[in-house]
Structure 1
């Protein structure tokens, strides 16, 4: 199935990804990991929730840690719209697709629409979020990998072609994709709104499940510093893959796992995709440099482990093709 032509005038306007809520078992352990190791800043905390932002972000939060009896699951993925009217247009769009819609109250956010995509990923859309003073020049606060901003989500989809078609209708544009040469079906695709390589990506696999949430960092050297920190503070086993450079996106990367098994990518040095006639890059599934331009090949866990979304039961992938996996 070919990549769809970009929809440059969607029914409503998403600016970018905004935040996600991760369910965790132990707020104290998670707080330590996300602040002392990863380096996010706490903006508020209660007995049940911790709100965090990265160093360049002015919005109140990009990560919510929620104490739960279902740790290792994802509550929701959030996106920011261009204006308030887009929220009403989004409601009409999702209703036209047969998806449930509900207006919900969220701390530190304005009017928020809760819905889900075609495979059941819970999504919420807001325009307003409490704005905080800038901290990007408060260098004494920088810790861990020095995360600057949340960058993207990647999710397992049981049918990547269908996921791409749905998000294309929302105005997400494909930047790169992997195609199975035999079936001509998509094995993975990277889609953006903010002008980078992706805000949302889909990988073939049992889903829906979150594959990872990614943070942009200043330089590859920050990633090396994080590896040194994790290896000497009891977190060496939380290092899953990398460092290396992706063929797709050209990004320098590292994948780590938080205490509840949520995968986090540390990410820098991808490229700009603002032009409306930007042409997507095609990769063959068997090309070893698509996933790793250089560095060790991805381990089996990278293709199989993901965290489930609350209220959604994953199903097996329709496409059975497999990429190159590390021995």
Structure 2
């Protein structure tokens, strides 16, 4: 099935992904991992929350760690709109799609619209977030992998075609995709708003679940340095896959698991997709260089493990596909 033509004039304007709220068991343990190992900066913290940002981010937070009785789950994925009026337009839009909406109070954010996508993934949209001082040239603060900014979400979807159609309708554009030849259905797709390869991606599987959240780093050497750090500070077993280079996106990557099992991708070197007539790239699902241009093939866990969204039921995919898996 071909990917849909891009909707260049959506009902409201989403400019990029913004933040994620991850539920954790031990806030102190998670705080140490994200600050001392990964290198995020603390914007604020309370008894039950730690708000983090990466080095290039002026917005108050891109990661919220939330103490929870359901650790290893995801509370919400956040997106920023072009202006405040887009929030009202989004409210009308999601209601027209049969999705419930509500206005919620979020610390450090202005008006925030809470809703969900067609599979039930909780989404929130805002325009204003507290702005903090620039720290990207405060090099004394850099540590860990030296994260610069949040880059994308990747989610398991039991129906990638339906997910792509839903996000395409409010302006996300496909950059690359794979198709299952037997069913002629999409197996995975990468979609963007900000002009990179993706803000949101969908991978075939039991869903909806968060497969990973990715953060951009300066160079591949930062990833090598992180591996050395994790291997000598008790986190070697948290290294899941990589380093390597993806065929799709061309990214140099590493996948790790945080203390609660949330998968984090450390990522650099993809390409720009700014032109509105940028044509998506199709990959053969059987092409081993699709997921790994070079490096070891992905382990079984990479295709099966994901973190569930709070209160959202799971549905198994009906596609019987066989991607390349490491022995």
TM-score, length basis structure 2: 1.00
Q: Does 1:159 align with 2:179?
A: no
Q: Could you give the per-residue CA deviations for residues 254-278 of structure 1, whole angstroms, max 9, x where no partner exists?
A: 0000000000000000000000000
> Quick one: distance in 1 between partners of 2:16 and 2:322?
30
Residue 116 of structure 1 corresponds to which residue in structure 2?
116
> Quick one: distance in 1 between partners of 2:40 and 2:84?
28
> Quick one: distance in 2 between partners of 1:61 and 1:277?
32
TM-superposed CA distance for 1:182, in Å, is 1.6
Superposition map of 1:289-304 within 5 A: 289-304=289-304
Q: Does 1:201 align with 2:194?
A: no
Residue 148 of structure 1 corresponds to which residue in structure 2?
148
> Quick one: distance in 2 between partners of 1:132 and 1:207?
36
Residue 88 of structure 2 corresponds to which residue in structure 1?
88
Superposition map of 1:279-290 within 5 A: 279-290=279-290
> Quick one: distance in 1 between partners of 2:314 and 2:228?
36
> Quick one: distance in 2 between partners of 1:172 and 1:183?
24
Residue 257 of structure 1 corresponds to which residue in structure 2?
257
Q: Could you give the per-residue CA deviations for residues 299-320 of structure 1, whole angstroms, max 9, x where no partner exists?
A: 0000000000001011101212
TM-superposed CA distance for 1:57, in Å, is 0.2
TM-score, length basis structure 1: 1.00
TM-superposed CA distance for 1:173, in Å, is 0.1
TM-superposed CA distance for 1:80, in Å, is 0.0
TM-superposed CA distance for 1:322, in Å, is 2.1
TM-superposed CA distance for 1:321, in Å, is 1.1
SS at match of 1:194: coil
> Quick one: distance in 1 between partners of 2:320 and 2:42?
42
Q: Does 1:69 align with 2:69?
A: yes
The answer for unaligned runs of 5 or more in structure 2 is: none
Residue 2 of structure 1 corresponds to which residue in structure 2?
2
The answer for unaligned runs of 5 or more in structure 1 is: none
Q: Could you give the per-residue CA deviations for residues 281-314 of structure 1, whole angstroms, max 9, x where no partner exists?
A: 0001100000000000000000000000001011
Aligned pairs, how many?
327
SS at match of 1:91: helix
> Quick one: distance in 1 between partners of 2:123 and 2:224?
33
> Quick one: distance in 1 between partners of 2:16 and 2:270?
16
- Which 4+ runs in 1 deviate beyond 2 A? none
Superposition map of 1:184-263 within 5 A: 184-263=184-263
Residue 105 of structure 1 corresponds to which residue in structure 2?
105
Residue 13 of structure 1 corresponds to which residue in structure 2?
13
> Quick one: distance in 2 between partners of 1:98 and 1:213?
27
